Structure formats: structure tokens, C-alpha cells
């Protein structure tokens, strides 16, 4: 018996999306060292936050490496990396937090580069236990 055409279309669409997802979201081992370190830091926030607790993250954002020579009126020598806000939001979510609000500011006035704030929440215990039961892992 031939499969209905709508099932074939769904299967093909799923495969297309799944392949795209795998390419866009690498496992932590394939991440660059900074992303791995940030993921570990966000996982620690998740571990220590009370169920339902919030984390407010804010920083300059972008996709560039900075090497300032002066800071606060003094000579400095260090490297700094700006990260895309979507990448940071993804790391928060990979750590088990839910991004509930986002503020992005473009340069202007006193801001000389884009800035973003993300508000993330650790799911309440009941929601976390329910999700764990659905996945068959049990509550932690």
C-alpha cells in the first residue's frame, strides 16, 4: 500500500529541518572555547538559581575582536570579544534557562556600539519536573 502524499511531505520536511538544526547547533565539544566556557557559566547559574528565579545578562554585542589601547584614561593591553546576542540567548537556553525578555540598543548618545540585555528564567520546579517526566528522565 502506498503511503499518503502528506506523510511523505512531512517526512521530507522533517529531515530538511533536522539537518539544518544539526548544522546550526553544534554539540558543546564542537564549540569554540569561549562559547563552551559561557555555557558552563550559564549552567552554573541554572544550578544555583531557585526554581522560577531570574538572571539578567547585559553586555555590548556584535561579532568582533577588540584590542583597546586606552581604558578609563589609562593605557591598557587586552583582547575582548563581542558576541552576537542570538548566540548568547542560545547558550542561555542550552543551559536550561528560558529567555523571557530582550532589549537591544543601537549605538547612539553615550553608546558607541550595540548593547543588549536578556532576562532569563529558570523554569519553576513543577514545570521542570513535568518536562523531565515527559522525557523519561525523572525530576532532579
For residues 73-86, average pLDDT: 89
pLDDT at 60: 94
pLDDT at 106: 95
Answer whether 84's CB lies under 8 Å from 62's CB: yes
List beta partners, residue 59: 116
All cell numbers assigned to 67:
584590542
Q: Does domain 26-135 have CATH number 2.60.40.10?
A: no
All cell numbers assigned to 132:
523531565
pLDDT in tens, 2-53: 777 766 665 665 555 556 555 655 666 666 787 788 888 889 989 999 999 9
Q: Where are the domains of the chain?
A: 26-135
pLDDT at 39: 85
pLDDT at 86: 96
How many Cβ atoms sit within 10 Å of the Cβ of residue 92? 24
Question: Is pLDDT at 97 greater than 80 in this prediction?
Answer: yes
Q: In this structure, what is the dihedral angle of CA atoms 36, 43, 136, 7, given to the nearest 10 degrees?
A: -50
127 or 115, which is more confident: 115
Amino acid at each position: 500500500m502506498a503511503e499518503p502524499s502528506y506523510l511523505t511531505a512531512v517526512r521530507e520536511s522533517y529531515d530538511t529541518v533536522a539537518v539544518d538544526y544539526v548544522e546550526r547547533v553544534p554539540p558543546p565539544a564542537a564549540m569554540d572555547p569561549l562559547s563552551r566556557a559561557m555555557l558552563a557559566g550559564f549552567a552554573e547559574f541554572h544550578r544555583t538559581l531557585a526554581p522560577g528565579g531570574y538572571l539578567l545578562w547585559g553586555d555590548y554585542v556584535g561579532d568582533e575582536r577588540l584590542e583597546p589601547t586606552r581604558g578609563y584614561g589609562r593605557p591598557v593591553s587586552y583582547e575582548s570579544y563581542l558576541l552576537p546576542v542570538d548566540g548568547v540567548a542560545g547558550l542561555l537556553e542550552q543551559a536550561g534557562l528560558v529567555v523571557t525578555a530582550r532589549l537591544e540598543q543601537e549605538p547612539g548618545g553615550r553608546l558607541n556600539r550595540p548593547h543588549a540585555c536578556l532576562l532569563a528564567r529558570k523554569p519553576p520546579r513543577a514545570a521542570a519536573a513535568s518536562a523531565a517526566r515527559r522525557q523519561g528522565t525523572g525530576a532532579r
